[in-house]
Structure 1
């Protein structure tokens, strides 16, 4: 007796939806000079969650060399600037530029278009319930390693 259709499993469907949202998001962000990979960095710096390359790598769970490359591209594209950290000689403080502050609201709006499209036909209650289910799925997966 065959098992369930693997294309109808939560993991497959979540990955498929995430992939499509990312594709659409990248398409909308491109005219702004942004990539989806820039946004977590920009948001973390803007919100004060991280201010150095090491902090960002830790927070976003990215290897240091990958973060260094991303920051170099973001600096080249005019979204961040680096300043020497007076407290640590070998560290640099990451700051957003005026361009980043200008483009972030546009990026949020562009990405929200995908959320609106994804939730088309859902009632307000269904949308809230769907988000609650996804939060529960993520919590289950985060806490799964600590389960007996």
Structure 2
């Protein structure tokens, strides 16, 4: 009996490597923010709210590109943990604005410091120029995935 030969090389697969890197980033970040009482999904939401306090759940879903149900669960945990409060939307009775509590505002500096530590750990072997290039390439890959139509290669390939 012969074993089928695979032509897929995960060590050269951009998607596989990006996913693996993202999981490692999330694990390392979680290790550093767990003592603050935060989870990675909460940190992502806080990053948006620290810059734009008072967003709606829908706006957070769009900005973070997550499922509505996932965001609803994250916000429920954040409310339970005293990080946010929901307030009535001034012009849409169905919507609520998400506002930070003083506790959440106080976590900004230590949580962002933890994220910088993880970035430094991951990129520490790169020069400043290589880090800038790497970030630029990641942004281009994200743009390609966000803008490319299903089944079509993005323009310029």
TM-score normalised according to structure 1 size: 0.86
Q: Residue 10 of structure 2 contacts residue 17 of structure 2 at CA under 8 Å; is this kept in 1?
A: no
Of 122, 139, 143, 1:118 maps to 122
Q: 1:67 — aligned with what?
A: 71
Moved over 4 A (4+): none
Show structure 1 runs of 5+ residues with no match: none
Deviation of the 1:61 alpha carbon? 3.0
1:30 to 2:34 alignment: yes
TM-score normalised according to structure 2 size: 0.81
**Shift in alpha-carbon separation, 1:18–1:63, aligned structure 2, 3 A:** closer
Show structure 2 runs of 5+ residues with no match: none
Of 3, 8, 13, 2:7 maps to 3
Deviation of the 1:106 alpha carbon? 0.9
> Mean alpha-carbon deviation: is it higher for 47-56 or for 23-32?
47-56
Root-mean-square deviation (CA, aligned residues, Å) is 2.2
**Shift in alpha-carbon separation, 1:123–1:2, aligned structure 2, 3 A:** same
